[in-house]
Amino acid sequence: MMGFIAWTGAALMVVASFLMATQFGPMIAVAGLLLLTIQSATNRTHNLTALNICSILGFLFSIFGA
């Protein structure tokens, strides 16, 4: 199951990279990063977990503005 979560998260990040100029790109990136955060937390790679959380916050900031 973890493999499916990880590969789905990676695939969503690839799709998001091509759609970043649209309104859907950052939303897809957040979904992908959430899945990759599950993987990194399970693998106890805390540096990647922190990076993913910071990236999620950055994308949410770009979606909702300030």
Secondary structure, 3-state, the chain: CHHHHHHHHHHHHHHHHHCCCCCHHHHHHHHHHHHHHHHHHHCCCHHHHHHHHHHHHHHHHHHHCC
**Per-residue pLDDT band at 65 (split at 50, 70, 90):** confident
**Would you say residue 47 has pLDDT above 70?**
yes
Q: What is the pLDDT of residue 66?
A: 64
State how far the Cα of 66 lies from the Cα of 54, in Å rounded to an integer.
Answer: 16
Q: Which of 52, 50, 51 is nearest to 5 (CA)?
A: 52
- Which residues form the domain of 22? 2-64
Total of domains in the chain? 1
pTM of the model: 0.92
**Would you say residue 55 has pLDDT above 90?**
yes
